[in-house]
Amino acid sequence: MVDVAQLAGVSSITVSRTLLTPELVTPATRRMVEKAIKQCGYIPNRVAGSLAANRSRTVAVIVPTISNSLFADTVQGITDLLEAHGYHVFLGTSNYDIKEEESLVSAFLERRADAMVLTGISHSPTTKKLLRNAGIPVVEMWNLTPRPIDMAIGFSNFEAARKMTLFLASRGYRKIGFLGGVTENNDRTRDRERGYLAALAELGIAAVENRIVRTPFDFPMGGTAIAALLSKSPSLDAVFAASDVLAIGAILECNRRGWPVPSKIAIAGMDDSPLGSQLSPKLTTVRIPRYGIGTVVGEHLIERLRGQASSKRIVDLGFEIVEREST
């Protein structure tokens, strides 16, 4: 930077200002400096800048996985908004493990991220403590809680599952099974299971443990799980899967076995992944504002990073049941 300054015949602080606050520099000077920067091939050192300014212009986002494209839209939404405001988004994946999440949070805090976005509301006590002490904006997304660390932006996974179960009942299905995720450390899938059970209770249908299967989220497991479910409870007339991945795997397994969907067994999913509408039969599911969560998270962070008190600490973005052919 000193080289650039000399070449442009100004002091280094003017170079710094040309980069950070060009409106404070006379256009003529600015052009000189910009020319010198190009000539030197100067690449600003943001590590030094972050240290001096005590801010990194960096926001960390932690999602459980990127193997499943579920969170990709949300990350895109966050990125689109924040990059437009000069922030850089760093992505980490926790593999649905709160210990891994904790170590990511530490890593990002050590690198002085200006804000942090987590997926879900289940975190280790250490994670929560670290974030409360960090004094930076924190968003928990994809689920709601009355007592967020700082902000919660998402939708009620409980209500979504409850409504879908009630919807299945309204279509005449009574023996409704549940294909759930592994609930440990996954509050979204846990709330979805709770929603399913709550709906059954409202309907006066007894919950039966062997109508429930819990399995990791991947396509083959969806197939395995529905086969297991129907062999345990052959009289089921519908299955609600806590994730489209499982629902799709289940439909494909039914196709392979020649079981007609929905006449033998109705299948509903959740998340509205793009593949669902391509299957035969097309998948009934719950649409979630995946990209919207991202943009709203971004907007709130920008507000807070500008020092404004955020308008709302808890934002419910809702969901929508999409009835297609599989129910």
Partner DNA sequence: GCGCAAAATGTTAGCGCTATCATTTATGGG
Partner DNA sequence: CCCATAAATGATAGCGCTAACATTTTGCGC
Stretch that binds a second copy, among 171-179, 201-209, 274-282, 303-311 (CB under 8 A): 274-282
Instruction: Find the binder of DNA among 38, 51, 174, 220 (CB under 7 A).
Output: 51
User: In degrees to the nearest 10, what's the CA dihedral of 227, 231, 232, 236?
Assistant: 80
111 binds, among DNA, a second copy, none (CB under 5 to 8 A by kind): a second copy
Which listed range, 42-50, 80-88, 233-241, 313-321, lies at the site for DNA (CB under 7 A)?
A: 42-50
* Region 178-237 residues binding a second copy, contact defined as CB under 8 A: 218-220, 223
Residue 264 binds to a second copy (criterion: CB under 8 A): no
CA angle 243, 248, 251 (to 5 degrees): 130
Would you count residue 39 as binding a second copy (CB under 8 A)?
no
* 54 touching DNA, by CB under 7 A: yes
| Contact between residue 247 and residue 255 where contact means Cβ atoms under 8 Å apart | no
**Which residues contact residue 43 at a Cβ distance below 8 angstroms, ignoring those fewer than 6 apart?**
none
Q: Closest Cα partner for 178 from 132, 224, 225?
A: 225
CA 288, chain centre distance (Å): 11
Please name the residue ranges forming H helices in the chain: 2-8, 12-20, 27-40, 46-53, 72-84, 98-110, 125-134, 157-170, 187-203, 219-232, 244-257, 290-305
Question: Which residues 70-99 are close enough to bind a second copy by CB under 8 A?
Answer: 72-73, 75-76, 79, 88, 90-91, 93
**What region, left, alpha or beta, does residue 202 occupy, with left being phi > 0 and alpha being psi -120 to 50 degrees?**
alpha
Of 19-38, which residues contact DNA (CB under 7 A)?
A: 19-20, 24-26, 28-29
CA distance 147 to 136: 17
CA–CA distance from 82 to each of 155, 296, 297 (Å)? 22, 11, 10
Whose structure tokens read 């002490």?
A: 133
Q: Site for a second copy (CB under 8 A): which residue of 31, 38, 46, 264?
A: 46
CA contacts within 13 A on the Cβ side of 31:
2
Residue 43 binds to a second copy (criterion: CB under 8 A): yes
When the beta carbons of 92 and 208 are compared against a second copy, the nearer one is 92
Separation of alpha carbons 161 and 176, rounded Å: 12
Taking CB under 8 A as the rule, which mask of x and - marks residues 126-165 in contact with a second copy? ----x--xx-------------------------------
Nearer to a second copy, 280 or 308 (CB): 280
228 binds DNA (CB under 7 A): no
Give the binding site for a second copy (CB under 8 A): 41, 43-48, 50-51, 56, 58, 65-69, 72-73, 75-76, 79, 88, 90-91, 93, 106-107, 109-112, 130, 133-134, 218-220, 223, 249, 252-253, 255-256, 274-275, 277-280
Given the rule CB under 7 A, which residues bind DNA? 1-2, 9-14, 16-17, 19-20, 24-26, 28-29, 44-45, 48-49, 51-54
